[in-house]
Chain A
Amino acid sequence: MNALLQADQVGFTRSGELVFEPTDVCLNAGQALVISGPNGSGKTTLLRVLAGILEPATGSLSRTASLAFLGHLAAVKGDLSCRENLEFSTRFSGQPGTEVNRAMARVGLAGLGLRPARALSAGQKRRLGLAGLLVARRDIWLLDEPYASLDDAGGELVDQLLDEHLAAGGTAALSTHQRQPRLQIDPDRLVIRAALRESVR
């Protein structure tokens, strides 16, 4: 099986204490993984470990494809316009030819190209983040709470984008605690649990 991203028994420690129980993750082309768990169970931390932002304390991580991470923070510069932010994403990810206008129209931000990103609402910022995913053209999407602050139409948009991404041979892992993704293929599910939280307290 050629996994695009594989993690064996990864764990992460904060002040010497495991945040979540060591977990196996395997992301194959065309498959999605939904990570769920109660607040504070380490969903975000796990995604950040998978993204390479945090160094895993235990276990090993191997990746054979390019990766994009969309976190709580939209990773946009408020003083730049939406267009400039997306143009930066295309250049930064080495895809300078990508059509920025089309991506903006796709996420419902058509005509807002010149607006400074700080003037966007929270939901519009999420949409700008999604447009960034589209222009960066990465194989692995790691989405932390992608449905947060989006309206119903926005939630459906995330599902559609995920479907297209998976159909194109990509893979995705997302954490969510409210809306469950409705995808054409049935995503794998992973419930993670905080390690030792109860006994420590």
Chain B
Amino acid sequence: MTRAMLALLRRDLRLAVRHGGESLMPLVFLFAVLILVPLGVGPGPNLLSAIAPGMVWVAALLASLLALEHLFRPDLDDGTLEQWWTGETPVGLLVATRLFSHWLITGLPVILFAPVAAQMLYLPDRALGTLMLTLLIGTPLLSLIGGLASALTLGTNRGSVLLSILIFPLVVPVLIFATGAVSAAADGLSARAHLGLLSALLILAVTLIPLATTAALRLNIE
């Protein structure tokens, strides 16, 4: 069972390395936002430090969204997806594995480069820890929500428009609590309430979304 999950993870990562350009897109996006927005709104430290949490988070969100089109569709097209139901491993675990690899490819790079981003945007040092923490809790949430939406839209031809419409309302709470936490920390206030709510969302998503995604995939595989 774990062996099948590890095999799937290994193949996903190997394919990601092979599509090197695509896999670098999250980072390209992050830095595009970080470099272009100051050019547009002006490089003043006061303004930038105020909008820094939102910018990092929007970049993380877009990075996650970009890769969603390729989360299940290639597997549906080449027939590897239907094989998930023929083995002994519960499909929910394979779905969780796939979502984890999506997070490794889109979420983790953003987390790793968040300190650089924070420096570039004059985020107060005392808020950096909170920013990292919100990303650590929040980016898996983005992968989970995106996974469900991508499974639901798998059967439609022009899935990407529908996909975005499905995702945006669901990620609004994540965005609000995450940026709220970072702003609070930047102002020297406690971010605990925001982080607590964000964690609650993550726990809810981790328990329910793999099951829901499995059911959605099964509907679309017919």
Contacts and interface: CB of A to CB of B under 8 A. Distances in A.
A51 B85 contact: yes
A93 B8 CA distance: 11
Contacts of A58: none
Contact of B8 (A48, A53, A72, A92): A92
Contacts, number: 71
Given A80-B11, A88-B11, A91-B3, A71 B18 contact: no
A11 B18 CA distance: 42
Interface in B69-122: 74, 77-80, 82-83, 85-88
Please report whether the interface of chain B is mostly helix, strand, loop or mixed according to DSSP: helix
A53 B218 CA distance: 8
Given A51-B85, A52-B86, A53-B85, A74 B4 contact: no
A80 B15 contact: yes
B158 interface: no
Given A75-B80, A84-B14, A68 B6 contact: no
A151 interface: no
Given A77-B11, A80-B14, A93-B87, A71 B82 contact: yes
7 contacts: A48-B82, A53-B85, A54-B221, A72-B79, A77-B78, A93-B87, A94-B88
Interface of A: 14, 48, 51-55, 66-69, 71-80, 84, 88, 91-94, 96
